[in-house]
């Protein structure tokens, strides 16, 4: 029977290899103040995430779900990762250096080894990237890495790689930090016993149930404090909270603001700053959203302030239909949209959609998706649209909406604006969920990466965002903190690390006090 943390019994933890044990200093109803003390070694950390059921993978090049990313970063390393400020930070890459024309980047690897003792070499990096971009691949990082001319890239000695690029790329380190760019020996992960260079070594994995890893004492960035890491699954947010309160786990991922306020005196609440982007995805390549007037109607019908109140319970900021609020290059000078039902009605009629029924996909796969869909459906009725909310399979939701449907609730963690564009909005993007494909938009992006003039690059980003603001398929209505919780005995959780960045879900730096 698959692991299912229910609201009442939280059944299945023991069968997944996670026994329910008392954690000293974590009594329900007690003070949530962290237990003081210097870092100490030993013990295990049990963390609960939402998941994808039997479809979950260990292949680090196929990561899509947050639990898959957490597992991948436990076992593997990338050349770079996003810091808390969204700037790429060197990881397996010790340093990088571009040529003057931005078409050649020289990467020096640090002295690191895989779990089987083999050193990480340039050949492993080149083979890993070749696997990601191989013909027919739909791997998440393919679009970001396709800029590399792998046939003409080469190893220089034992620890240096010279990447030749097909075009200038001023923000190339962002590509190295992209989700799914993990380095594996020989380029191909072993699905039965994956070997990486990360802080933990693989022990066991049951899709949709559990993952167990053990401390890597030889990790290049310092051995983890904890001896064991256990990740378990529940797609029910209340069950994740109850597992933490019941001492069946020490860390719970993705809480609602209501749960955070309710339990902040019992457990530690960590609000990862403004890294949770909430929106809708409209597929612009098919009816009815191939009509720009209908996309614009949705921009004008959504009451963002009401969604902040009702869905985020006041714990967020309104969005302006563009991703990356408060990030570098974000177009904060564009007029803030607010609900304009008369304008929305006129646009609906102009699109020939008055009285139209449109299926609106949503799910319990992530907190707030369903609630936002229901609220927006109510708002749409006032302007002559019937948005038929359909609750999808929470285990396959993200894959389903990528291929099917026309309108879906959407959510994203943090990434630089450049990465959002390259992964989701270029003609070549493999995760282009709105099917936005505009050669003139692509050119603006490529031009932005070809220049070393910072003012020109910022101007090009503004022009791209102006296009998306007017006619894009994403409607980003709000941004909020990402909320996780831990037992008072858990120390070392970085509360300033947005989701998807280096220190988010980084369990090698936590300890049990």
HEC secondary structure over 373-387 = HHHHHHHHHCCCCEE
| pLDDT at residue 15 greater than cutoff 50 | no
**Beta-ladder partners of 212:** 204, 230
User: What pLDDT is recorded for position 378?
Assistant: 97
| pLDDT at residue 7 greater than cutoff 60 | no
Residue 296 belongs to what domain range? 274-481
Q: Provide CB contacts within 8 A for 326, sequence distance 6+.
A: 274, 479
- Whether 177 is covered by a domain: the verdict is no
What's the mean pLDDT when you consider all of the chain? 92
How is residue 445 written in tokens?
């992006």
Rounded mean pLDDT, 271-275:
85
For residue range 186-219, list pLDDT tens digits in order.
Answer: 989 988 899 999 999 999 999 999 999 999 999 9
User: What pLDDT is recorded for position 273?
Assistant: 83
Collapsed DSSP state (helix, strand, coil) of residue 437: coil
Percent of the chain whose pLDDT exceeds 90: 84
412 vs 424: CA distance, rounded Å: 11
SS3 per-residue string spanning 314-368 = CCCEECCCCCCCCCCCCCCCCCCCCCCHHHHHHHHHHCCCCCCEEEEEECCCCCC
- Whether 305 is covered by a domain: the verdict is yes
| pLDDT at residue 21 greater than cutoff 80 | no
| pLDDT at residue 65 greater than cutoff 80 | yes
Alpha carbon separation from 481 to 167, 269, 496 (Å, rounded): 36, 11, 10
User: What pLDDT is recorded for position 195?
Assistant: 97
User: What pLDDT is recorded for position 330?
Assistant: 97
| pLDDT at residue 146 greater than cutoff 50 | yes
430 vs 16: CA distance, rounded Å: 34
337 vs 299: CA distance, rounded Å: 8
Give the number of other CB atoms < 10 A from CB of residue 31.
10
- Whether 418 is covered by a domain: the verdict is yes
Range name among 25-39, 107-121, 428-442 with the lowest pLDDT average: 25-39
| pLDDT at residue 345 greater than cutoff 80 | yes
User: What pLDDT is recorded for position 32?
Assistant: 64
| pLDDT at residue 318 greater than cutoff 80 | yes
- Whether 412 is covered by a domain: the verdict is yes
Rounded mean pLDDT, 241-246:
98
Give me the number of domains the chain comprises. 1
User: What pLDDT is recorded for position 33?
Assistant: 63
- Whether 16 is covered by a domain: the verdict is no
**Pairing between strand 93-98 and 88-90?**
unpaired
For residue range 66-103, list pLDDT tens digits in order.
Answer: 999 999 999 999 999 999 999 999 999 999 999 999 99
121 vs 118: CA distance, rounded Å: 9
User: What pLDDT is recorded for position 36?
Assistant: 62
CATH number for the domain spanning 433: value is 3.10.105.10
Rounded mean pLDDT, 471-487:
96
Which letter, b or e, does each residue of 229-263 get, where b requires 16 or more Cβ atoms within 10 Å of its Cβ? bbbbbbbbbebbbbbbbebbbbbbbbbbbebbeeb
451 vs 239: CA distance, rounded Å: 50
pLDDT band at 34 (very low <50, low <70, confident <90, very high): low
Query: Which position has the higher pLDDT, 493 or 22?
Result: 493
User: What pLDDT is recorded for position 296?
Assistant: 98
Q: Rounded to two decimals, what is the model's pTM?
A: 0.84
User: What pLDDT is recorded for position 35?
Assistant: 64
419 vs 141: CA distance, rounded Å: 10
- Whether 104 is covered by a domain: the verdict is no
Rounded mean pLDDT, 435-447:
97
- Whether 54 is covered by a domain: the verdict is no
How is residue 288 written in tokens?
């009815």
SS3 per-residue string spanning 9-47 = CCCCCCCCCCCCCCCCCCCCCCCCCCCCCCCCCCCEEEE
Nearest Cα to 44, choosing from 319, 229, 175? 229
How is residue 276 written in tokens?
């949770």
pLDDT band at 272 (very low <50, low <70, confident <90, very high): confident
DSSP class per residue in 237-250: HHHHHHHHHTTS-S
**Pairing between strand 251-253 and 44-49?**
parallel
9 vs 20: CA distance, rounded Å: 12
| pLDDT at residue 10 greater than cutoff 60 | no
117 vs 321: CA distance, rounded Å: 48
- Whether 290 is covered by a domain: the verdict is yes
CA angle 86, 316, 432 (to 5 degrees): 55
């Amino acid at each position: 029977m698959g692991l299912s943390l229910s609201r009442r019994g939280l059944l299945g933890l023991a069968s997944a290899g996670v026994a329910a044990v008392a954690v000293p200093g974590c009594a329900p109803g007690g003070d949530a103040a962290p237990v003081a003390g210097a870092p100490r070694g030993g013990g295990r950390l049990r963390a609960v995430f939402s998941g994808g059921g039997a479809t979950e993978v260990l292949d680090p090049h196929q990561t899509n779900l947050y639990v898959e990313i957490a597992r991948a970063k436990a076992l593997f390393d990338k050349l770079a990762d996003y810091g808390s400020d969204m700037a790429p930070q060197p990881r397996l890459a010790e340093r990088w250096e571009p040529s003057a024309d931005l078409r050649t980047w020289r990467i020096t690897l640090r002295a690191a080894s895989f779990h089987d003792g083999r050193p990480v070499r340039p050949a492993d990096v080149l083979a890993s990237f070749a696997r990601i971009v191989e013909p027919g691949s739909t791997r998440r990082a393919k679009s970001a890495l396709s800029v590399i001319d792998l046939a003409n890239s080469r190893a220089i000695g034992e620890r240096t790689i010279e990447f030749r690029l097909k075009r200038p790329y001023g923000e190339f380190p962002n590509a190295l930090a992209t989700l799914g760019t993990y380095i594996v020996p020989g380029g191909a992960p072993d699905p039965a016993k994956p070997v990486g260079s990360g802080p933990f070594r693989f022990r066991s994995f049951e899709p949709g149930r559990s993952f167990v890893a053990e401390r890597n004492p030889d990790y290049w960035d310092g051995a983890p404090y904890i001896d064991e890491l256990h990740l378990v699954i529940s797609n029910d947010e209340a069950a994740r909270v109850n597992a933490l309160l019941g001492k069946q786990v020490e860390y719970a991922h993705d809480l609602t603001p209501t749960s955070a306020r309710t339990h902040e005196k019992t457990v530690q609440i960590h609000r990862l700053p403004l890294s949770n982007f909430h929106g809708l995805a409209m597929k612009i390549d098919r009816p009815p959203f191939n009509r720009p007037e209908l996309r614009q109607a949705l921009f004008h019908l959504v009451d963002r302030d009401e969604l902040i109140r009702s869905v985020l319970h006041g714990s967020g900021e309104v969005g302006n239909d563009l991703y990356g609020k408060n990030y570098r290059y974000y177009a904060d000078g564009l007029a803030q949209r607010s609900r304009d039902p008369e304008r929305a009605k006129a646009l609906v009629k102009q699109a020939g959609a008055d009285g139209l029924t449109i299926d609106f996909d949503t799910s319990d796969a992530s907190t707030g998706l369903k609630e936002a869909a229901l609220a927006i459906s109510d708002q749409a009725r006032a302007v002559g649209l019937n948005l038929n909310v359909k609750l999808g399979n929470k285990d396959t939701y993200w894959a389903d909406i990528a291929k099917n449907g026309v309108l879906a609730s959407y959510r994203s963690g943090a990434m630089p604006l450049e990465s959002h564009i390259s992964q989701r909005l270029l003609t070549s993007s493999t995760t282009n969920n709105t099917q936005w494909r505009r050669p003139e938009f692509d050119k603006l992006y490529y031009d932005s990466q070809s220049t070393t003039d910072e003012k020109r690059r910022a101007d090009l980003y503004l022009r791209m965002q102006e296009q998306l603001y007017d006619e894009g398929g994403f409607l980003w209505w709000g941004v909020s903190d990402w909320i996780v919780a831990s037992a008072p005995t858990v120390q070392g959780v970085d509360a300033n690390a947005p989701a998807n960045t280096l220190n988010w879900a980084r369990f090698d730096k936590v300890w049990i006090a």
